[in-house]
Amino acid sequence: MESGEIQDKQITASSINGDNQRYAPKNGRLNSPVAWAPKDNVEMPWIQVDFDGMVTVTGVITQGSAGSSNWVTEFSILINDGESWNYILDPNGSVKKFSGNSDRSTQVTTRFEHSHNAMLLRIIPKNRNMAPHCMRFEVLGCPAV
């Protein structure tokens, strides 16, 4: 994503904080000078990438906001394989909650236990250090074989 290989129109979200384009999904790319931030009153905010075809995803890298002290501390992942949406689950079959960031700039790499074939990947912030949820991210993986 950071390389620009994923186009802006392939990154979408549930909402944008204050409808301010500074917080648009395209600004959720890793190392962006700003970040994506949803509206505060959205019950289950999300940001997603449409890969425009099948890819294999193996993890994500996350960061908080570059311009403020806001970051996501915990998140879940939904994968769409072209047929249905499925959460990444923990070994007990519950929705896996991944640890996020503890500051605004450190990159946190999260590797999935198993690789997943995906046409879309959706990140769902679960907790944050303060409102609003702010994040930048990168998806790890490769073209599906």
Q: What is the residue-wise DSSP string for the chain? A: -TTS-S-GGGEEES--GGG-GGG-GGGGBTT-SS-B---TT-SS--EEEEEEEEEEEEEEEEE--SSSS--EEEEEEEEE-SS-EEE-B-TTSSBP-EE--SSSS--EEEEEEEEEEEEEEEEEEEEESSSSP-BEEEEEEEE--
pLDDT by residue (tens digit) across 23-81?
999 999 999 999 999 988 778 999 999 999 999 999 999 999 998 889 999 999 999 99
Task: Show contacts of 89-93: CB within 8 Å, 24+ apart.
Answer: none
pLDDT by residue (tens digit) across 69-117?
899 999 999 999 999 999 999 999 999 999 999 999 999 999 999 999 9
Pull the structure tokens for residue 28: 């959720």
Q: What fold is seen in the domain 8-140?
A: Jelly Rolls (2.60.120)
Q: Which of 12, 137, 32 is nearest to 75 (CA)?
A: 137
| CB contact at 8 A, 77 and 123 | yes
pTM to 2 decimal places: 0.94
Enumerate the β-bridge partners of residue 50. Answer: 120
